[in-house]
Amino acid sequence: MMNNSNLSKDRFLKMVDKASPNSHIFTNCLKAFVVGGLICVFGQLLSVWYLSLTGDKDMAGTLTSVSIILIAALITGIGKFDNLAKFAGAGAVVPISGFANSVAAPAVEFKKEGFIFGVGAKMFVIAGPVLVYGLAASVLTGIIYYFAKL
Amino acid sequence: MDYLKAFVIGGLICVAGQILIDKTKLTPGRILVAFVVAGCVFSGLGWYGKLVDFAGAGATVPLPGFGHNLVKGVIREIDEAGPIGILTGGLKAAAAGVTAAVLFGLLTAVFFNPKEKG
């Protein structure tokens, strides 16, 4: 009996050991899922509301993006975005809120280097590469589409 | 139901990003670039448009949606204006988002100061 319980305790500890690094990732993923999902639900709410106001689906999508960008920039300004990103990881970074934060955060941080080469240049530290490779990929896709259509 | 779809698909795209952060040590900045480029590729293959039809904001709010938006704009401009659309379509479609991010970034720097590190 005693042997048995020792054995199971041993086995249990081994299982905990084995699971720990993964459960850490699992917790991170769960937080990212819930926060990221909620930001998208908020976006869905906004887009339904904008669609009812404008009657234009593209316009509703654009206004939704702009709204989330504005809110994320404000949260960055009051210094709370880092807390959200620390908690939710990719859940805060992967939605368009992360793009807005990647512009606003260095803009504020490098204010001391001046508005031209501090704010103006450093705000593109991440947004720059995103635009360079996003645009390049979209142009390449466009070229393929154009010739496939001929 | 639309809200549930947006929650699940949007959440899952973020989980993909989280797994990349935890398993590969890719920095969040690189993940932003990778997700936008991935959005362009999946959009070009015609997959991302279907995901948007299914999940709404669950697909458009995460960053691959930004890539999809670029490609959607390029394709629309090619159809309407010819090959010049390859160069004009992307930024035309993304104009509001890019300008908003830059403008609000600038205003944030005007009105707020860096938090004291302590």
> How confident is residue A14, by pLDDT bands cut at 50, 70 and 90?
low
Mean of the per-residue pLDDT values for chain A? 91
ipTM of the complex as predicted: 0.94
Q: Is residue B30 part of a domain?
A: yes
- pTM (2 d.p.): 0.89
Q: Is residue B97 part of a domain?
A: yes
CB contact under 8 A, A43 and B61: yes
Answer yes or no: is pLDDT of A16 > 80.
Answer: no
Residue B83, pLDDT score:
96
Q: Is residue B90 part of a domain?
A: yes
Q: Which parts of chain B register pLDDT below 50?
A: 118
Between A24 and A91, whose confidence is greater? A91
Task: Closest CB to B102: pick one of A93, A103, A143.
Answer: A103
Task: Closest CB to B31: pick one of A74, A93, A108.
Answer: A93
Cβ atoms of B70 and B94 closer than 8 Å:
yes
Task: Closest CB to B14: pick one of A47, A90, A129.
Answer: A90
Residue B28: give the domain boundaries: 2-111
Q: Is residue B117 part of a domain?
A: no
Sorted by where each begins, the domain ranges of chain A are 22-149
Number of domains in chain B: 1
Dist. CA A6–CA B99, nearest whole Å: 64
CB contact under 8 A, A77 and B98: no
For A59-78, write each residue's pLDDT tens digit: 999 999 999 999 999 999 99
Residue A150, pLDDT score:
83
Q: Is residue B38 part of a domain?
A: yes
Which residues neighbour A109 within 8 Å (Cβ) at sequence distance 6 or greater? A122, B114
Mean pLDDT of A2-15: 64
Nearest residue of B to residue A142 by CA position?
B86
Cβ atoms of A95 and A39 closer than 8 Å:
yes
